[in-house]
């Protein structure tokens, strides 16, 4: 079951609501139980946002590896591949960041 603080939007998972909201201190009377459908949407968007965050982290690792490979400068084809990997990783990272920003502005999480 998912409860939402109507004062601040804090989400609580459990059979019962909290005594006072851990974020804003509002009493449990201000917590509302979300419908199963709304709870599922929130869990799904939570997981989706985590996946975007993980992809951003991996893309940043690719960028760092590519930079290291470029600096090593073993031969021109390697450097060329690393430059492409660096640029592709940037696109992957920015695509996920843009999607996360869209979710945040829609209040999806």
| Interface positions with Zn ion (CB under 5 A) | 5, 7-8, 10, 21, 23-24, 26
Q: Considering beta carbons, is residue 26 or 70 the nearer one to Zn ion? A: 26
Q: Considering beta carbons, is residue 8 or 91 the nearer one to Zn ion? A: 8
What are 80's two structure tokens? 């060329």
Please say whether the dihedral angle defined by the alpha carbons of residues 3, 5, 48 and 82, taken in this order, is positive or negative: negative
What are 92's two structure tokens? 């992957």
Least distance in angstroms from the C-beta of 9 to Zn ion? 7
Least distance in angstroms from the C-beta of 29 to Zn ion? 12
What are 23's two structure tokens? 């974020």
């Amino acid at each position: 079951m998912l409860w939402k603080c109507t004062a601040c939007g804090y989400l609580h998972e459990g059979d019962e609501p909290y005594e006072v909201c851990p974020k804003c201190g509002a009493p449990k009377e201000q917590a509302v139980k979300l419908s199963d459908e709304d709870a599922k949407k929130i869990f799904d968007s939570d997981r989706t946002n985590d996946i975007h965050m993980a992809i951003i982290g991996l893309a940043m690792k690719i960028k760092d590896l590519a930079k290291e490979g470029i600096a090593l400068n073993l031969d021109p084809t390697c450097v060329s591949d690393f430059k492409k990997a660096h640029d592709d990783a940037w696109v992957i990272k920015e695509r996920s960041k843009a999607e996360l920003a869209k979710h945040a502005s829609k209040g999806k999480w």
